[in-house]
Structure 1
């Protein structure tokens, strides 16, 4: 799954989440069991990646109060310059299923 977003005229702190397992609580069948998230800039360069949000930036992500509900879900917190960005959500070990990409501008 690919999600795109644009950071406007000023640098912003952005939280990008890759949601899968917690979708089952919302009666979504076939949810992605173990999502992995990549963040790319407009040139396609990889800026960051995450599998299991607690493995990186746990305290910073919790401080936003927008941390994922499931430890297997992915999240990236970055300060981004104005421009276009792409978030790619995929399953670990080529897993498939229903997922959700979310981007929150925290500024």
Structure 2
């Protein structure tokens, strides 16, 4: 937007993917958000652990409590979201980013 920043919801899906026929979905994903300098600026394990009310208000809350989400304002620049399995578990996951108006 005009000031070079955007409010976004970053969420990582794993368990919810099984309802779409994904057989090897990541069962307990974690999400980390890094700025362009590699600094960790946000992390989440289970979306209801923090920001629950604000995330629900977006209408985009993950469908499974084990899925992480981060609601934040990003300034213009490079950002990296990393999805991992808790305790080094493996499987299929999906990162989604929504711009919140």
TM-score when scaled to structure 1?
0.90
Query: Which residue number corresponds to residue 84 of structure 2?
Result: 90
Unpaired stretches in structure 2, ≥5 consecutive residues: none
Deviations 1:68-107 (A, max 9, x none): 0000000000011111110000000101000000111113
Counting strand residues as a fraction of each chain, which structure ranks higher?
Answer: 1
User: How far is 1:26 from its partner?
Assistant: 0.3
Query: Which residue number corresponds to residue 22 of structure 1?
Result: 16
SS in 1 for 2:9: strand
The count of residues paired between Structure 1 and Structure 2 equals 101
Structure 1 CA distance for aligned equivalents of residues 34 and 94 of structure 2: 17
Q: What is the root-mean-square deviation of aligned Cα atoms in Å?
A: 1.5
